[in-house]
Amino acid sequence: MNVIDARQVNTPKSSYANSVQHQLEQFNTNSPNKNNADTFSLSEAGRSALSNEAALSQLALPNWYTEFSVPSLDLTSSSAAIKEGAQLVALSEQYSADGHVTAAEQQAIASYRHHMSANQQLLAHDQFNQTHQQQIDEYTAIKQDAMAAAKAALGLDNDSFLPSLHDPNSAALGEQFKAIMLANPKAVTLMNTLGVKPK
């Protein structure tokens, strides 16, 4: 069973939390030919965080860390993409309710599909990720190593490769992490390839 860690949720908003929960429920209910490996569930910590905005905000990642994230891995547009898809289905059902779809209605559906910008962005990101999977994996490993090194330099426990926004050592950790990343020629090369542009 794959467990989704709420630490991966970057946006502390209840609407996003509800969207995540709904998508999990829909997947677990509707996934064809599913088995235990296909089933997703939330850890107890994840359930608690998703049901409580205050708790979820405690899991937010600091800006100095998200600045080093690969843009194509950003899923903040997924909620908009889901809404676009739902609207397309509703439009298709509306026009086909009488059993006949006119040419004008077909054109309206095609026009709406053509302008589904959130879905187009997700598709472009997915294609980019597939093309650059090796570089993304390598960059992710470098980030984890940099975080571990930054924590070690400050004498902090390396209990997680994800930093906390509310950690009292966050600012110092961010400076150390950024220095390590930018001093690594391979990291800089990968950032240029993957479109990572820290401030």
Among residues 58, 56, 50, 19, the alpha carbon closest in space to that of 166 is found at 58
The answer to whether residue 30 sits within a structural domain is yes
**Residues 144-180: pLDDT tens digits?**
999 999 999 998 887 766 777 677 888 999 999 999 9
Given 126, 151, 166, the domain boundary residue is 126
Same domain, 188 and 154: yes
Which domain range does residue 179 map to?
Answer: 64-73+131-194
Same domain as 167, residue 141: yes
| b/e burial code for range 65-92 (CB count within 10 A of at least 16 → b) | beebbbebeeeebbbebbebeeeeeeeb
Q: Are residues 142 and 69 in the same domain?
A: yes
**Does residue 183 lie within any of the structural domains?**
yes
Query: Is 158 in contact with 177 (CB distance < 8 Å)?
Result: no
Tokens of 195: 């479109």
Same domain membership, residue 141 and residue 92: no
Is residue 199 situated within a structural domain?
Answer: no
Residues of the chain with pLDDT under 50: 1-21, 23-24, 27-28, 30-40
Per-residue pLDDT, 169: 83
Q: Same domain, yes or no, for 112 and 144? A: no
Same domain, 16 and 109: no
CA of residue 47 relative to chain centroid, distance: 18
Q: Are residues 152 and 68 in the same domain?
A: yes
pLDDT at residue 187, rounded to an integer = 97
Regarding whether 163 and 69 lie in a shared domain, the answer is yes
What total of structural domains would you count in the chain?
3
pLDDT at 5: 39
Query: Same domain, yes or no, for 150 and 68?
Result: yes
- Within this chain, do residues 9 and 44 fall inside the same structural domain, yes or no? yes
What are the DSSP calls for 129-169, one per residue?
HHHTHHHHHHHHHHHHHHHHHHHHHTT---S-SS--TT-TT
> Tens digits of per-residue pLDDT, 56-75?
555 678 889 999 999 999 87
What is the predicted pLDDT for the residue at 111? 92
